[in-house]
Copies of this chain bind each other. A is one copy, B any other.
Amino acid sequence: MIEMKSWLPIAAESDFSIYNLPFGIYSQKGGKKHVGIAIGDKVVNLFGLSENQMLDVASAFFAQDYLNDFIRLGKNVTRKVRLDVQRLLCEEDSPLRASPELLIDQSEVQMHLPVRIGDYTDFYSSIEHATNVGVMFRDPEHALLPNWKHIPVGYHGRASSIVVSGVPIHRPMGQVLPKDATEPVFAASSRVDFELEMGYIIGKDTSLGDRVSTAEAEEYIFGKVLFNDWSARDIQKWEYVPLGPFLAKNFGSSVSPWVVTMEALEPFRVAGPKQETKVLPYLEATGDRNFDIQLEVAISPEGSEEQVVSRSNFKHMYWNMAQQLAHHTVNGCDVHVGDMMASGTISGPTPDAYGSMLELAWAGTKPLEMRDGTVRRFIEDGDTVTMRGYADKDGVRVGFGEVSAQVLPAKVY
């Protein structure tokens, strides 16, 4: 990697190094939404750069509520914008350096949902997670279902209820089946859980009937975010057979605001777990298709210090993004710019790397201790759950910031 240095002071531990430069949607107090790039503790005002002839993309593409129209310009354009900003932040005599008003403090902006999400698909691609769930709820001897090693299992989720980091989530009400009962009751979920996931955002449209091969897949991926797929385990248990999770998942999902591009993640490629069961040819993917991204989850009880409860890594994913997208489109299903594809819970091989409370506290049998002395089997009202992620190699750090949200009490009508 070519070493780069900005004239802007950037903390060594910043997720938003000169090597990162993720895109997001921000607004200043009372102002309109704009496309920005994060650098250190600043936001680069791309609209301003364009208006001042520092970028060769029309400023209208940066005065947007969502990144979709910008992304739709194509990777040739979006890559160049990112590289132009990198150059502007490095060159000693850069015109940006002479325009400090185009660098806004992150503390002065509000971040918004980065893309208008058309469709949202959630995969189930961590073998550790799928195995843990199978051991707990089915048969430890046959924890994985017969299709799991053949199919990157996925299902459709609700796009409308995906919100940006910071938006609180109300505990859902719903139907749950009390232990040993045969009739459900209506109640607030008592098993609200997080799921540590990462999402990727589609960067290029296909048409109905088109297929994206594993070789082409990454050209269709714009970038990645952290994704908390909030789940209500008790609602899920009663509703999900035979058509899958519904109200247990669609009361809210939280995403981090900065979209880290595939280009920024390139240095962190690694091989994935070996797939010993031979996959069908359309799922074969050569080369290093995983990414070494360290992940952590912390819980902060209201008014108390946070406790990190999980440290996992995206590199554990059994099915990679290229396989997921090739599978999703093999039947001709069309994808579009802004679609969100989430990984499924990212559990690692050791118990401290599990990606949900369900697994960490093993269905409530192994409660976790918080710093304030309380214990957690699931998430309590007032708790804030924060997920962080970053890649780090040879002194180069590319991070995602965080996705954080507080769980509020159920709204009772």
Q: Which residues of A contact B (CB under 8 A)?
A: 118-119, 124, 145-147, 150-151, 153-161, 163, 167, 170, 172-175, 182-186, 208-209, 211, 232, 235, 238-247, 250-252, 280-282, 327-328, 330-336, 339, 411, 413
Contact = CB atoms under 8 A, between A and B. Distances in A.
A63 B156 CA distance: 32
Contact of A158 (B156, B160, B245): B156
Contact of A153 (B118, B156, B239): B239
Q: Which of A161, A247, A331, A336 has the most CB of B within 10 A?
A: A331
10 contacts: A145-B241, A150-B184, A160-B208, A172-B331, A172-B332, A173-B332, A174-B330, A240-B244, A247-B330, A252-B332
A186 B145 CA distance: 19
Given A209-B411, A232-B331, A411-B332, A246 B156 contact: yes
A239 B147 contact: yes
A238 B280 CA distance: 14
Contacts of A328: 247
Contacts of A163: 208
5 interchain residue pairs of minimum CB distance? A244-B244, A172-B331, A156-B156, A155-B243, A251-B331
A378 to B, nearest CB: 16
Number of copies: 2
Contacts of A147: 175, 184, 238-239, 241
A157 B156 contact: yes
* A contact face: mostly helix, strand, loop, or mixed: loop
Contacts of A327: 247
A253 to B, nearest CB: 10
A184 B280 contact: yes
Contacts of A251: 208, 331-333
Nearest to A413: B211
Contacts of A335: 160
A237 to B, nearest CB: 10
Contacts of A183: 150
- Kindly name the residue among A167, A239, A327, A332 whose own CB sees the greatest number of chain B CB atoms within 10 A: A332
A169 to B, nearest CB: 8
A344 to B, nearest CB: 9
A209 B333 CA distance: 31
Nearest to A150: B184
Given A151-B239, A235-B331, A243-B153, A161 B211 contact: no
Nearest to A209: B170
B247 A170 contact: no
A243 B170 contact: no
Contacts of A411: 209, 211, 332
A323 to B, nearest CB: 13
A266 to B, nearest CB: 28
Nearest to A344: B243
A124 B333 contact: no
Of A182, A184, A339, the most chain B CB neighbours within 10 A belong to A184
Contacts of A252: 208, 332
Given A160-B118, A160-B335, A172-B332, A145 B242 contact: yes
Contact of A182 (B146, B209, B241, B247): B146
Given A147-B184, A153-B243, A161-B208, 12 more contacts: A119-B159, A147-B239, A153-B246, A155-B155, A156-B157, A160-B333, A160-B334, A163-B208, A186-B282, A208-B252, A247-B331, A252-B332
A333 B247 contact: yes
Contacts of A339: 160
Contacts of A330: 173-174, 247
A219 B295 CA distance: 44
Contact of A332 (B170, B209, B238, B331): B170
A161 B281 contact: no
